[in-house]
Amino acid sequence: MRLILSSNIGFCYGVKRAVGIVDELSSEYKVKTFGPLIHNPQMIERLRAKGVQTIDSLNDKTNKECKIVIRSHGVGPDTYNLLNKMGIDYIDATCPFVKNAQDFVKRKNREKITVLIFGDKQHPEVKAVMSYAKDIVVAESIEEVKALPNFKKIAVVSQTTQSKQLFREVVMVLLDKAVEVDIYNSICGATESRQTEAEKLSCMVDIMLIVGGKNSANTRRLYTVCQNHCEVCYHIETVRDIGFDLFPKNSTIGLITGASTPDFIVDEIIDAMEREFGADLSVETLN
């Protein structure tokens, strides 16, 4: 048995930063986050055990007695305004890539240009980015972009975890719809390189393990990428979601994680495979 790990594994920069902030604060203060800090239930459970709570609104009397953390997906201007108005001390753990997308949308709003966000309407990142402009459209697919009317000018930004290829197709469609197209490629570098690695790795193996929250957009995207190249793909959250005893002998197995998958989950998987296959298992990292 051969296990090949992708070289980009575990938390991306934005998630590492957000988890680090909360980890450090929680040893001294009571910490509350807007919505789950990241899209990984196991990590959220660990944080909960350390007293980190999730809130949905600021109508809470205890807010002044704790540290409020804005999660990596970011929030809209209304929330910042409310925090300031209520005099609440908060720590902003918005992912820098998301922040850049918000700043672009804010700028285009000032320039009075319609903004298209290419992403999932229900995703908290997209919901927050949307709230920075008045004249905004969200499209979830190329078909939705094609169905848009013509514009004189349009600006376009992407959910940070989108597929690079799809975003390029969006730009091509917009070139037929508008004379002026202002593009901000907000797909984060880590997302891009994980997608490239997922493609490469899934072409080399018999079985692909894609590890990450079922509610993680970037993990689901990696799963879709892998399915194009490998017949047996499993999107798992933890080692308990899969039985290694059923894997055919001498298989080559690829492992990749989403950007919000903690290292401890990968370690558990490797430990379980070492127990299952013993000396038959070789573990290596993708070059």
| Residue ranges in contact with a copy of itself by CB under 8 A | 100, 104, 168, 171-172, 175, 178-186
CB of 183 to a copy of itself, least distance (A): 4
Burial letters 170-208, b for 16+ CB under 10 A, else e: beebbeeebeebbbbbbbbebbbebbebbeebbeebebb
CB 225 within 8 A of CB 199: yes
Residue 56 tokens, joined = 């949905």
CB of 132 to a copy of itself, least distance (A): 16
Of 85 and 152, which CB lies nearer to a copy of itself in the complex structure? 152
Is residue 111 annotated as part of the catalytic site, yes or no?
Answer: no
Distance, CA of 121 to CA of 168 (rounded, Å): 19
CA-based end-to-end distance of the chain:
18
Of 100 and 238, which CB lies nearer to a copy of itself in the complex structure? 100
Q: What are the two backbone dihedrals, phi and then psi, of residue 207, each rounded to the nearest 5 degrees?
A: -135, 135
CB of 219 to a copy of itself, least distance (A): 24
Of 2 and 177, which CB lies nearer to a copy of itself in the complex structure? 177
CB of 16 to a copy of itself, least distance (A): 21
Of 180 and 241, which CB lies nearer to a copy of itself in the complex structure? 180
Active-site residue identified among 24, 28, 125, 144: 125
CB of 157 to a copy of itself, least distance (A): 10
Q: What is the DSSP string of 86-151?
A: TT--EEE---HHHHHHHHHHHHHHHTT-EEEEES-TTSHHHHHHHTT-SSEEEESSHHHHHTS--E
- How far, in Å, are 224, 260, 271 from residue 201 at the CA level? 13, 20, 21
Of 159 and 186, which CB lies nearer to a copy of itself in the complex structure? 186
CB 238 within 8 A of CB 268: yes
- Catalytic center residues: 125
